[in-house]
Amino acid sequence: MAGSRMKSWFPTTASPLIINAPMKGVANIKLATEVAKVGGLGFIQFGRDFEPGSSTLKQLDDELSQAWKLLGLETSKDDGSTLPIGVGILTYMPSARHFGETVVPILKRHRPAAIWLFAPSPETPETHSNIVKEIKSQGSPWNPKIVVQVGSVAAAREAATHGADIIVAQGVDAGGHQWAQGAGIISLVPEIIDVVRNEFPDREIAVWAAGGIGDGRGAAAALALGAEGTVLGTRYIVALESDAQDYKKKAIIATSDGGFNTVKSYFHDHVQGDLSWPELYDGRAIVTPTYQDHASGVPLEESQKRLKAAQESGDVSKLVTWSGTGVGLIKKEQPAAEITKEVREQALGAIAKVKSFL
């Protein structure tokens, strides 16, 4: 039933549903469309600048125009068809108030299948509710699924109240930005599913799992927990089509024992001079000499100076690489389509193996 619901919502996908996370600096239109071509659900990352005239608005328009061509659907662009990829939106910046004015017209023109919202500021809790209303009130046959990424049960309840069709339950094993305090998917996913079923019985709300999933075995486990889709982030950083710099791909492939060699911290943003994220969110990255200096007591300002010097000298070992704890399962760079098919096939194999034990 879960598989049939995702197939109904996203007709071009295959079961089990594999999704690439809309990671900034990774998920470009080439990656997303390659995922989509083999039955996954590909997402691009729009960013966080909603101001009128922003260069990212033109980039979004250009990338979505390119998607129609890359998927061989250009002839369908004007017949009301849905573009079978999604767009990720970061929502914590004050400029999110311009979403209806600047972003919705572009989305309405290209009609992506899903809009993924993440990281509203606690100071503006109405942001997601307003965005959903702006998308739904455009007087257009375009009716995308609203995806909201959360890291707690309370946030999931809030997302459902605001109109989410899909809730991404992101566990603390995830790479990159996430709730600073949370749980792993093994408890988070089932509890969110229970909340959705018991407190919103008249709504069709699906739950996807994200965080620490590096291969098809993790995807199968997520399905066993009740998730209807599996999100991978770190695994797609090493995709051939990824925008990630080469040193990041090499660092991920070289790293093992992710629970020991990655760490959640505000420091990863602060050392790079990014103080924009609300305190609700931190991020997980690979442990580097820069982080080790911080942990031993080196002041932030000195760490920033050392990082800048490392960048100027070409010492990439000290630079930040976002990564989840599943990093040790990632052994090579691969095309995004190959990753998607491999994870799906491995998940089906893992499910069949479990059945053979029963």
So which residues are the catalytic ones?
A: 177
- Do 64 and 110 form a contact (C-beta atoms < 8 A)? yes
At 80, the amino acid letter reads G
Residue 39: how many CB atoms within 10 A of its CB?
Answer: 19
Tokens of 159: 């997302």
Can you tell me whether residue 15 is helix, strand or coil? coil
Burial 84-112 (b: 16+ CB within 10 A, else e): bbbbbbbbbbeebebbbebbbebbeebbb
From edge to edge, which strands make up the β-sheet containing 206-210?
Answer: 18-20, 229-232, 206-210, 166-170, 145-150, 112-118, 83-90, 43-47
At 18, the amino acid letter reads I
- Do 25 and 320 form a contact (C-beta atoms < 8 A)? no
* Residue 120 backbone dihedrals phi, psi, to 5 degrees: -70, 150
| Residues 117, 110, 29, 221, CA torsion sign | positive
Q: Which residue has the tokens 């009301």?
A: 80
- Do 329 and 173 form a contact (C-beta atoms < 8 A)? no
Task: Give the containing element (helix H, strand E) for 191.
Answer: helix 185-199
